[in-house]
Amino acid sequence: MLTLTSPVETPLHRLPAGGKLAALAVATLLLMPQTSLVVLAAAGLATAALYLAQGTAFAAHGARMLRPLWPFLLILALWHGWTGDYALGLRIGLKMLTAVALANLVTMTTRLDDLLAVLERLAAPLARIGLNPRLLALSVALVIRFTPVLLDKTAALMQAWRARSLGRPGWQVVIPAVLVALDDADHVAEALRARGGL
């Protein structure tokens, strides 16, 4: 497993995880109802400025973390280009890009253990209805940690397909990618059992 925390130390790393998560929630809630392109563009520029304020190496790493968004942005552009509603497509794209960039900023500047502790505290009231807060927090942490791992392994499968075939990889890599995910899940389950489980 790998961590999403940036190796480039910034002042944001020293802020408490709970405060960063609360700021992310507020920023997202304020961003989503906006319809003004000027306000959305300003929010996007402010987010980019926040990345750049942490240094160019940090900003470049953050930009690389946004690469998985391009297929969704492409679909948005094609659909709204076809329907002729460019402004709506641009608004949705700016909201998506800004919200994901802000979420990435939090994960890049917060240790996973700190995020896990905050999530566990937030989920504590759910213990009254029989839900284990530790289990919920660990599930979120595993999703955060394994998403880039599975993306990397899927990219490796696609490269292997390109090396052996003239055609572009498509649905043929779906089953191997699912099997890799199940294999990783099995290894993690064994590791958790070996450490006493939950």
Question: Rounded to whole angstroms, how far apart are CA atoms 157 and 189?
Answer: 24
Six-digit token string for 176: 């191997």
Q: Average pLDDT, whole number, for the chain? A: 83
Please check whether residue 12 is in contact with residue 55, taking contact to mean a CB–CB distance below 8 angstroms: no
d(CA 128, CA 8): 40
Alpha-carbon distance of 44 to 11, in angstroms, equals: 21
Beta carbons of 157 and 177 less than 8 angstroms apart = yes
pTM greater than the 0.85 cutoff: no
User: Where exactly are the structural domains of the chain?
Assistant: 1-110, 130-198
**Which pLDDT score is estimated for 14?**
87
CB 169, CB 158: distance < 8 Å: yes
Question: 111 Cβ partners below 8 Å, 6+ apart?
Answer: 3, 5, 17
Q: What does the pLDDT look like over 50-60, one tens digit per residue? A: 999 988 888 88
Burial degree of 54 (CB within 10 A; 0-12, 13-18, 19+): buried
Query: 113-144: per-residue pLDDT in tens?
Result: 788 888 888 888 877 888 777 777 777 777 77
Handedness of CA 10, 13, 19, 24 (dihedral sign): positive
Strand residue runs (E) in the chain: none
Structural contact between residues 157 and 173, judged by C-beta atoms closer than 8 angstroms:
yes
Number of DSSP helices (H) and strands (E) in the chain, helices first = 8, 0
pLDDT digit string (tens) for 164-188?
Answer: 877 777 777 788 888 888 888 888 8
DSSP code at position 130: T
Q: How far apart are CA 25 and CA 18, in angstroms?
A: 11
CA dist., res. 117 & res. 107, Å (int):
14
